[in-house]
Amino acid sequence: MHWSLFALAALALIAAHSLKLPYAAKGRLSALTFFAVGLVSSAVLIKGLAHANGIGRTTDFDKFVNAATLTAQQDPAPLIVFTGASYSRNGIDPERLTLALKERGYNYRVVSLSIEAASILERDAHLNQFMDAIGRAPTVVFVEVSQGFDDKVAYMFGNSKFSQRAIEQFDLRTTAWSLLGLSNRACENTSECVKDTAFLGLHSALNFVSIGLLGKSEMARDAEAIPAYDPQFEPRETVDPTEALERADIVPVEGKQWIRSYRYQQRKRLLAEGVAHVAYYQPPLLDQAERAYTEGLCRGELIALPCIHANDPDLMASLNGVHWFDRGHLLDSGTAIYNAWLVDQMIASGILEPGA
């Protein structure tokens, strides 16, 4: 256990003792006031000192960041970072992509920062963590887009409520953006909006008062380094692969106001920090409506930006077979097909320089 944890515990006890309710205080209001002051003061003290010492709620995402950091530190080549959710964790193989690019004369190193159920808000926080750790800006950042995440800002609550990851991500910044999304109806219906708002308040409160913050002594930088790519070799469910050949009507699309604003702010910040290109993509999936949404984004909101959707008839035809883990994720054989196609698309976009 790190020495600073003992120091934090001691300071918390001192703060609790100094802010205890005076004997002379009378009435429920006085008791509540002193309790609130003590709670807030202790929470701010613990959180500030924990942050200064690099202590936080470590999750699997920290392990993926550490693996990507080691890779980037060992290879000085320009970096291409893919940041996504489970579609990318199964569908982006950094080693395959790096090797394919080098074989084509493009000396880049690809890393992935992708984990299941990760909203763009959570992914952005860990992208910042990665950039701070390596001390340089990636040349290209590919941001996964998905209708599911655009239309449901609190997607995590349907996946793992009250987990370390769920509590860890809802700091003041993420909470503010989530509230903006909920006000923009980025939820399934009125009932779900109410539930998501309530869960948001609870998770934000748990984050603020540092519940569980010191329960694990491991610092983020000391977490085990594990690559994000999660290859699958046996199907999880029986699917109809002919869905890969189906195509919905494509119309230009703009995301909800909250996500348009967030993507703009994220691009602005990354470019200011030295990233040369911010691009968008989505790995293949069988749901034709969601594929159509992403292609519509590439033709609409993101038309002036590098945007690689997987709703390509030739690509989907090549995946019409036993290449699916389930309806939304690829087996390793499908990842090999997709990544070979993706390299061609990355080169064709013009954002990569030969021999970089």
pLDDT digits (tens, 9 = 90+) for 233-247: 999 999 998 999 999
pLDDT tens digits, residue range 154-185? Answer: 999 998 899 889 998 999 999 999 999 999 99
pLDDT tens digits, residue range 288-343? Answer: 999 999 999 999 999 999 999 999 999 999 999 999 999 999 999 999 999 999 99
Say if CB 184 and CB 256 are below 8 A apart.
yes
Mean pLDDT of the region 197-223: 79
In the prediction, which pLDDT does 1 show?
A: 44
In the prediction, which pLDDT does 222 show?
A: 86
Buried b (16+ CB within 10 A) or exposed e, 58-89: bbebbbbbbbbbebbeeeebbbbbbbbbbbbb
In the prediction, which pLDDT does 209 show?
A: 77
- Give the pair of three-digit tokens for residue 235: 């199907």
User: In angstroms, what is the C-alpha Rg of the chain?
Assistant: 23
Say if CB 294 and CB 88 are below 8 A apart.
no
Query: What's the mean per-residue pLDDT of the chain?
Result: 89
101-110, 199-208, 253-262, 293-302, range with the lowest pLDDT: 199-208
- Biggest CA-to-CA distance, the chain: 79
Supply φ then ψ for residue 301, to 5 degrees.
Answer: -55, -40
Q: What is the SS3 string spanning the chain?
A: CCHHHHHHHHHHHHHHHHCCCCCCCCCHHHHHHHHHHHHHHHHHHHHHHHHHCCCCCCCHHHHHHHHHHHHHHHCCCCEEEEEECHHHHHHCCHHHHHHHHHHCCCCCEEEEEECCCCCHHHHHHHHHHHHHHHCCCCCEEEEECCHHHHCCCCHHHHCCCCCHHHHHHCCHHHHHHHHHHHHCCCCCCHHHHHHHHHHHHHHHHHHHCCCCCCCCCCCHHHCCCCCCCCCCCCCCCCCCHHHHHCCCCCCCCCCCHHHHHHHHHHHHHHHHCCCCEEEEECCCCCCHHHHHHHHHHHHCCCCCCCEECCCCHHHHHHCCCCCEEECCEECHHHHHHHHHHHHHHHHHCCCCCCCC
Cα–Cα distance measured from residue 80 to residue 19, given in angstroms and rounded to the nearest whole number: 50
Residue type, 213: L
Q: What is the SS3 string spanning 104-167?
A: CCCCCEEEEEECCCCCHHHHHHHHHHHHHHHCCCCCEEEEECCHHHHCCCCHHHHCCCCCHHHH
Residue type, 59: T
pLDDT tens digits, residue range 46-84? Answer: 666 666 666 677 899 999 999 999 999 999 999 999 999
pLDDT at 21 over 70: no
What is the distance between the terminal CA atoms of the chain, rounded to a whole angstrom? 44
In the prediction, which pLDDT does 66 show?
A: 97
pLDDT tier, 220 (very low <50, low <70, confident <90, very high otherwise):
confident
Mean pLDDT of the region 22-34: 63
Percent over 70 (pLDDT), the chain: 83
Percent over 90 (pLDDT), the chain: 76
In the prediction, which pLDDT does 43 show?
A: 63
Cα–Cα distance measured from residue 329 to residue 298, given in angstroms and rounded to the nearest whole number: 21
Question: Which of 123, 121, 119, 167 has its CA nearest to residue 147?
Answer: 119
Residue type, 203: H
**pTM over cut 0.85:** yes
In the prediction, which pLDDT does 206 show?
A: 87
**14 vs 137 pLDDT, higher one:** 137
